[in-house]
Amino acid sequence: MDRARVIIVGGGITGIATAYDLALRGLDVVVLERGEVASAASGRHHGLLHSGARYALTDLESARECIQENTILRRIAPGTFELNDGLFVALTEEDLALRDDFLAGCAAAGIPARPLSPQEALRREPNLNPHLLAAVQVPDGTCDAWRLVARFLASARAAGAEVRPYHEVLDVLVQAGRVTGVEVRDHIRNRTYRLEADLVVNAAGPWAGRIAAMAGVRVPVRPSPGVMVAVEGRFTHMVVNHLHKPGDGDIIVPQRLCSLIGTTAWFTEDPDRVEMPRDHVEAMLRLGADLVPAVARAPFKAAWWAVRPLVAASDAADDREVSRTFRCFDHQARDGLAGFVSILGGKAITARAMAQATADAVCAQLGIEAPCRTAELTLLPHYAYEWPSLSPTPSAPAPRPGGGQPPERP
């Protein structure tokens, strides 16, 4: 039987970032992922570097988390993001009536927000709806979803973490009120084995409920699929959001030579059985054209979906009512089950903070005193995942604002 100090179930960005954090603290870590790394939501989102402004009207906790991590990621992952900012545009009198509350929410969350006149907004982004009534500029940005994960992955491996893709957890092993390891199916070698550990982290995203059930506990995860659509043509430089409470089809994210429109939202009981509703695709195109009319004439490129692992009470009727914040569950304190920690919710941009909270809980259970270092160290470049010899071990402090930044390979 193999053994590790900590097993992390789930190879999305949260699990990989947690492995990086724990490895930097000196722990022996193994990540188990049933498919390819970042093959679910972590590699399928629209690549938004959230300023948090999207949540300024409804979810200040998430807004604060986003702007804090936005600032940190700019420093520790130089070259990963297109720092093109974002615009929130009011299209109706109802939207316009929310502007003051929106600006107040941004101020409360610490998000820089600059009101623009319709004329100034159209001067900067000529393809916006010409009938817009107001706009607000915020520090959004964009990135390649996979490259962000790859930076954490390269850094985790360089710090000593082991990542095993195509290793599916079949069961969580419990003995005398303590999780002692997992039973694993290795789909590469077609074998089943047991892996022992002092502690298991449940970072399985929308599948976290299944992993928790294997350990005999429950977690309040609500799997929520969302549809995104890509059209050919980059019609704006900045990210464009509809200035209203979060809803369907209210954001356009410029990615390379395409425009990504998102997203819809609903609940599902089984994240493995999701069908993409055709009317959601049609709605994305229609609503995207409200923000940028050129979308209506653009060639269709692709449509896809990803499943969010939201934290919610079971009686929440609407996905949009559910906070986008995260929660870490220490099951020893919560359920009397030692050796088990779950992390739920959040976003790709807050994965580092989620990992810090999780690693803190792990170290507390194991009686380890070791500080988090991930906010201070520069992540290895994404290409070091495939060619680790090209980059040093992540040990250099991240550059501070105004300082030099290391070169980044395209």
Tens-digit pLDDT profile for residues 248-278: 889 999 999 999 999 999 999 999 999 999 9
Q: Does residue 293 share a domain with residue 233?
A: yes
Is 120 part of a structural domain of the chain? yes
State the pLDDT at residue 404: 37
Q: Does residue 336 share a domain with residue 282?
A: no
Helical H segments across 110-179, by residue range: 118-124, 145-158
pLDDT band of residue 391 (cuts 50, 70, 90) is low
| Residues sharing a CB contact under 8 Å with residue 65, sequence separation 6 or more, in sequence order | 52, 325, 326, 346, 350, 353
State the pLDDT at residue 407: 34
State the pLDDT at residue 87: 99
Domain boundary among 309, 340, 364: 309
Check pLDDT > 70 for residue 343.
yes
Q: Does residue 227 share a domain with residue 348?
A: no
pTM (2 d.p.):
0.93
Is 114 part of a structural domain of the chain? yes
Residue 35 identity (one-letter amino acid): G
Q: Does residue 195 share a domain with residue 245?
A: no
Closest CA to 142 of 81, 228, 68, 74: 81
Q: Does residue 136 share a domain with residue 241?
A: yes
**Separation CA 147–CA 110 (nearest Å):** 27
State the pLDDT at residue 387: 64
**Separation CA 230–CA 252 (nearest Å):** 9
State the pLDDT at residue 53: 98
DSSP state letter for 377: B
What would the two tokens of residue 63 be?
A: 């807004």
Residue 239's domain comprises 85-140+223-309
77-88 mean pLDDT: 97
What would the two tokens of residue 91 be?
A: 């299209």
Q: Does residue 247 share a domain with residue 202?
A: no
Is 347 part of a structural domain of the chain? yes
Check pLDDT > 90 for residue 154.
yes
| Residues sharing a CB contact under 8 Å with residue 68, sequence separation 6 or more, in sequence order | 110, 353
Q: Does residue 115 share a domain with residue 162?
A: no
What would the two tokens of residue 165 be?
A: 């893709």
Mean pLDDT value across the chain: 92
DSSP state letter for 402: T
Is 213 part of a structural domain of the chain? yes
Q: Does residue 251 share a domain with residue 111?
A: yes
- Classify burial at 370, counting beta carbons within 10 Å of its beta carbon; exposed 0-12, middle 13-18, buried 19 or more: middle
State the pLDDT at residue 260: 98
Is 70 part of a structural domain of the chain? no
ω into 350 cis (within 30 of 0):
no
Residue with the two structure tokens 């009981």: 269
Is 357 part of a structural domain of the chain? yes
Domain boundary among 286, 309, 332: 309
Question: Do 111 and 19 meet the contact criterion of CB atoms below 8 Å apart?
Answer: no
Q: What is the CATH number for 112?
A: 3.30.9.10
Residue with the two structure tokens 């959001």: 241
344-356 mean pLDDT: 97
**Separation CA 286–CA 290 (nearest Å):** 7
Coil/strand/helix, residue 394: coil
Q: Does residue 331 share a domain with residue 205?
A: yes
Domains: count for the chain: 2
Check pLDDT > 50 for residue 401.
no
Q: Could you give the percent of the chain with pLDDT greater than 70?
A: 91
Coil/strand/helix, residue 408: coil
- For the stretch 277-299, pLDDT in tens is 999 999 999 999 999 999 999 99
pLDDT band of residue 318 (cuts 50, 70, 90) is low
Q: Does residue 22 share a domain with residue 155?
A: yes
Check pLDDT > 80 for residue 402.
no
113-125 mean pLDDT: 98
Is 23 part of a structural domain of the chain? yes
161-171 mean pLDDT: 98
Positive or negative: CA dihedral 285, 286, 290, 294: positive
Residue with the two structure tokens 């399985």: 204
225-253 mean pLDDT: 96
Q: Does residue 371 share a domain with residue 232?
A: no
Is 63 part of a structural domain of the chain? no
